[in-house]
Amino acid sequence: MTAPGRVVLVTGGTRGIGHAIAAEFAADHAVAVTWRSTPPDPGAALAIRADLADPDSAARVVAEVLARFGRLDVIVNNAGQISPSPVEGLDAEAGQGLLAVNLLAPAALLAAALPHLAPGSAIVSISSVNAVLPPRGAVLYGASKAALNLWTRAMAKELGPRGIRVNAVAPGAITTPETPRPADLQQAFLAETALGRLGRPQDVARAVRFLASDAASFITGEVLTVSGGYRL
């Protein structure tokens, strides 16, 4: 298949922020998405069912994209996991799952794709403001995103000479149908957000598209916060 524009892979691209990112690219680019539990929309260009916590899935996902489109230009590491991690009663297995999806999966996907990425390719990962503002009761989630930020900078330095850019977007409080918040928690977020509203998935999607575009051709190793001014 000859792909229009660029070929974009969005992990976790069938719900919430990932769905918005896939839709943002779909008008002008060929989009492949991975999914684990939420089936894709009918008519999706390429939907690959994969559990990215399984390190063997990365090579299969990349192979399916290449078989369909012949190349890969942009990877958006959106798939993520969050689970409680209190100081007392810490679940080590859950913590390992967080690291597997939030950090090791992006690393494995890049390793599998790297031989096929040309100069001008871009990697954009979805981090979180919790990487620098650790949430109470979910410290391992914040730690996994902090590690993702460091990985982003390290990969930007390593891949810069190849002309491959690596950046991340750190959303604040984003409202989606999949993540309803109690009214009191929503008000707490609003009270600490300068723009006085919660974010929308499209706010994050537009930032991702910018970082993947030629308009950001001299931007790499950055974590762009999209939070409406949360806790300024």
Q: Which residues are catalytic?
A: 141
Alpha helices (H) along the chain: 16-26, 57-69, 92-99, 105-113, 139-159, 183-191, 201-212
Q: Are the C-beta atoms of residues 57 and 50 closer than 8 Å to each other?
A: yes
In three-state secondary structure terms, 79 is coil
Distance between CA atoms of residues 27 and 34, nearest Å? 18
Q: Are the C-beta atoms of residues 75 and 13 closer than 8 Å to each other?
A: no
Q: Are the C-beta atoms of residues 21 and 76 closer than 8 Å to each other?
A: yes
